[in-house]
Structure 1
Amino acid sequence: MDDLSPSDLKVILHSKRANMYYLEYCRVMQKDGRVLYLTESKKENLYYNIPIANTTVLLLGNGTSITQAAMRMLSQAGVLVGFCGGGGTPLHMATEVEWFTPQSEYRPTEYLQGWLSFWFDDGKRLEVAKQFQNARIDYLQSVWSKDRELKSHGFVFQDDMIQTALATFHQRTDKATQTAELLLTEAQLTKVLYKYAANNTGLKNFTRQHDSTTLANDFLNHGNYLAYGLAASCLWVLGIPHGFAVMHGKTRRGALVFDVADLIKDAVVLPWAFVCAKENASEQEFRQQVLQAFIDHQSMGFMFNTIKAIALDKPAEQGDAGQ
């Protein structure tokens, strides 16, 4: 194991890694050169392998512990680790919103330098915020137009209700002169999407409440935290600190994570939260559905391509991402 170079564990680009894990009531450890998690039962202890070279994020929920040796291997493989509450939410370390980020002095600097070239200019930062807003709609169109299962549940991008809301959204986004206007426009669109999803799934009395215990609200919270994990991993790989937000509060340390996660939340997390709530799915079934949708629609690659294009002031690449 001592002869294994960290680079040997990074043959799979982060944008192409397939796995994101949530674990609870287990012990994560290193054994025989692999990272495993151990579950204890009355009759026997069961070990399960974690394929770290193909993993982006590891969320550790209730009743978990992890060894130093396991953290060392996860760091070598570039896996982001976060402690969270039951079901993946809330994300916390003590009372702070925090990720354990793999430390490397060899992460790229070009994306951070490109990001800072516009970030301190209010006008340029506003234009980038508009790019974020347009990118999330482009992704929504891409996902809803291709996903047959979502279509079968009534999520049709060309629906009149969606198109009317988007026409207003684009008009107000183009005319916005400050970030507060963009946030208001975003909130109004999301409210329409909630209503549309609730009508499609028969949850017509739905109200978005982050502390609510209804299934749809629980699934929205859970799915959003999964999206935060992908966003944080993307930003870590590209070397852009989470504090350089373009939409959310500039004084919030993790605000850029929220900006990047918003690129995919409406397209993937929102519809599946309502569909799974309608079907009375379990938390695990919802998580599996959302993670599979992230893979099917290349959510991670989309995040990478969008952030790289903005940082380098180039058109977003189509298809494979380069990290």
Structure 2
Amino acid sequence: MEQLSDLKAILHSKRANIYYLEKCRVMQKDGRILYLTEDKEENRYWNIPIANTTVILLGTGTSITQAAMRMLASAGVLVGFSGGGGTPLLMGSEIEWLTPQSEYRPTEYVQGWLSFWFDEARRLKVARHFQLLRIEYLQKVWSKDKDLKNESFLISDLDITQAFSGYSSKVEQASNVTELLLIEAQLTKNLYKSAVSRTKQKDFVRNYDSTDSANAFLNHGNYLAYGLAASTLWVLGIPHGFAVMHGKTRRGALVFDVADLVKDALILPWAFICAREKMNEQEFRQQILQKFTEHKALDFMFDCVKQASLKGGAI
């Protein structure tokens, strides 16, 4: 059986896998985590390499054993329950993350984070910095991603250049979080327009409850990003309630802050492209996970949060 030290050999920021499972049973067998699918003719077992996994998301028709949860916790794998396709069902609850209850995590990051969090001015400074990092990441990804260039997502195009015009100065001048959220929302709205024009999704309106492919893929991709963000924060030992952008009373708000670092860069364009190509959810998910790995989304999240923590907000 694998030892605890073996399971943690791969740093979370370097782990390659996120799993979404449905209509199966997750269990521990002979020191491994397996999921069982029942066929008419036979039952099939598939192995999950937990030492190289950050998140397991359990959709409809799933169950998991206590022994499997114990082993996943020892490997530091984040487990979530969701509705079908990785997003909540209508009238369903928000996704619920189950985090390993280990307190043998580093202390410097949570202490550094809390050293600035109670100071509103310093907290706003970090929120501004996250917005600038988000744009730098998007521009970097869109500048070098050949697949996006082939889909006409060119960082030099006039509409995209105009979307970014003056953004940094507006962020720097924002006097509170409400202003910052409005600036962020306007940029995302402009990027939606650019994506719609390139993929000919003319009737698109952003609606979290809509069943059209573009909206469904945006929801699905966002929840994958939330999984990465939640995993980052758990590993660094920072509670989800200490947000810098989303409201202080909002449950899990810091997860949304960290996920926003990569959502517009990776989820937004591919949700529209995959919708136009009439991909199914599994194909879309594979595309997003490939791009997460290609553009080191998890590494980027770790770097941003660690930098803010270790500098105590003095960015």
Please show how residues 16-55 of structure 1 align to structure 2 within 5 Å: 16-55=14-53
Aligned pairs (5 A) from 1:78-227: 78-90=76-88, 95=93, 97-227=95-225
RMSD: 1.5
Where has structure 1 moved over 3 Å in runs of 4 or more?
Answer: 94-97
CA distance in 2, matches of 1:253, 1:5: 35
**Any unmatched runs of 5+ in structure 2?**
none
For 1:53-72, list aligned pairs within 5 A.
Answer: 53-72=51-70
Match of 1:235 in 2: 233
Once the 2 structures are TM-superposed, how far is the Cα of residue 242 of structure 1 from its aligned partner?
Answer: 0.3
| Structure 2 residue identity aligned to 1:38 | L
- Which secondary structure does the structure 2 equivalent of 1:35 belong to? strand
- The amino acid that maps onto 1:222 is H
**TM-score, structure 2 as length reference:** 0.96
| Cα distance, 1:252 vs structure 2 | 1.0
Which letter maps to 2:138?
A: L
**Structure 1 unaligned runs (5+)?**
316-323
- TM-fit CA distance, 1:97: 4.3
The number of residues matched between the two structures is 312
Match in the other structure for 2:9? 11
CA distance in 1: counterparts of 2:21 and 2:280, whole angstroms:
16
Q: What is the percentage of aligned positions where both structures have the same residue? A: 68
CA apart distance, 1:86: 0.3
Matched to 1:270, the amino acid is L
Shift of 1:95: 4.2
Q: Could you tell me whether the CA contact under 8 Å between 1:91 and 1:225 is conserved in 2?
A: no
Q: Aligned partner of 1:313: which letter? A: K
TM-score (norm 1): 0.94
Shift of 1:161: 1.5
Name the SS of the counterpart of 2:25 in structure 1: strand
Q: Aligned with 2:165: secondary structure? A: helix
Single out whichever of 74-83 and 202-211 deviates more from structure 2. 202-211
Separation of aligned partners in 2, 1:314 and 1:175: 21
Shift of 1:157: 1.3
Deviation sequence 1:43-67 (CA, Å, 0-9, x none): 1100000000000000000000000
Deviations 1:218-266 (A, max 9, x none): 0000000000000000000000000000000110120000000000000
Q: Which amino acid in 2 is paired with 1:309?
A: Q
Opposite residue 49 of structure 1, the aligned amino acid is N
SS of the residue 1:99 aligns to: strand
Counterpart of 2:192, as a letter, is: Y
Deviation at 1:171?
2.2
SS of 2:97 mapped into structure 1: coil
Work out whether residues 113 and 312 of structure 2, in 8 Å CA contact, stay in contact via their aligned partners in 1: no
1:117-143 CA deviation, whole Å, 9 max, x = no partner? 111111001100001000100110111
